[in-house]
Amino acid sequence: MIIDYFLNLTLRDHRSTHRSQDMKKYHSASHASTALKRLVRPLAFAIALLFSSCSLLAALPPHFQSKPLRIIVAVPAGGSVDNATRAMAQLLSEANKINVIIDNRPGGTGTIAMNLAAQAPADGHTLLSASNSILITGALKKVPYDLMKAFEPVVQMTSSAYVLVVSSSLAVQSLKELIAMAKNQPNQLKFGSPGVGSIIHLSTEILNHKAGSILMTHIPFKGNSYAVIDLISGRLDVLLSAGVSVAQHVQSSKLRALAVTGQTRMNLFKDVPTLSQAGLPGLILDNLYGLYAPSGVSADTLASLNREIQLIMNQPSMRVRLANDGAEPAPPRTSAQFKIFIQEQFNQWQQFIQKAGLHIE
């Protein structure tokens, strides 16, 4: 298949230079094409071997064949982190002929999953899948370890945005109307999150601060999917959520989307403006999904996992799936570069929290 690709690519370029010539010259070009094909085939075969070699180099070490890879997910099944993790795990399993187990352990703003993963053997066969909520959790909640020392960042899978949705029973049609209502009714509107100190909690607090320090009451949930249920019923008013978790409810008019938090609009919500377009210029609230291993995993295992998973996240089918969820593959980073990036992200969050005077109880 690779050989055919390079042959067709070369011959297509060759034929394109003869489109304006007459039939006689076309037949001459056809003979030349046959000769060119004979010359190109060995080169194409060599290139195919090179690609095959690269693929073999990127494969996981042999010990993954004899023991399953367990990925502990810090959110309930069905959420955006879970969906991205399961899609990646399926392709990883197929590509490497290994058994991958998804273990959802929601609750405690990620601490339940984090504690379980931190205690696992440092052999690379247990990973933690989570959003950057764990950065805030590790810094602002009491956990029995130093987050940056207990885990080795493996790979950033995605970068994504949220969608701001409200209950269809709430009498607002735009972000500006929501802000006006919140200002007129301090602490009367209720917003949800997957827990105190979660990235969605703090992102909503940032939105409130940028909107003129409006006050809404925070209602924490065990996971964002539970908050969606209360939002549909009208027991909750406002929620920042991954697009895939609320898209069908927006389409059925059970929820109303007011804005998306990225720099550009989402494929899922093409008619929904960004925060900047909706009245809060310059405000972008992005999220990332990453994989983390217990501290002590060998550098070679980290490197192979990082390399293989990045290849999978950039496959065309995965790119399409992520785009439909309002996400995209993360920029290429080694495990060491990902660790530096996480530390920088944490420092930025901490600075904002101190500057805005936010308090996490």
Same domain flag for 319 and 261: no
Residue 79 is which amino acid?
G
pLDDT of residue 286: 81
Q: Residue 152 domain-assigned?
A: yes
Question: Phi first, then psi: what are they for 170, rounded to 5°?
Answer: -80, 130
Strand stretches in the chain, DSSP E: 69-73, 100-104, 126-131, 151-167, 190-193, 217-220, 238-242, 255-260, 286-294, 327-329
pLDDT (mean) for 269-274: 94
Same domain flag for 210 and 129: no
Same domain flag for 258 and 297: no
Residue 260 is which amino acid?
V
pLDDT of residue 349: 74
Same domain flag for 141 and 253: no
| Domain hosting residue 207, numbered range | 161-286
Same domain flag for 200 and 309: no
Share of the chain above pLDDT 70, in %: 79
Q: Which of 244, 271, 286 corresponds to the end of one domain?
A: 286
Greatest Cα pair distance in the chain: 83
Same domain flag for 182 and 258: yes
Q: What is the pLDDT of residues 203-247, one digit of tens each?
A: 998 899 889 989 999 999 988 889 999 999 999 999 999 888 899
Same domain flag for 183 and 257: yes
CA distance 142 to 144: 7
CA distance 310 to 330: 8
- Split into its structural domains, the chain has a count of 3
Same domain flag for 268 and 165: yes
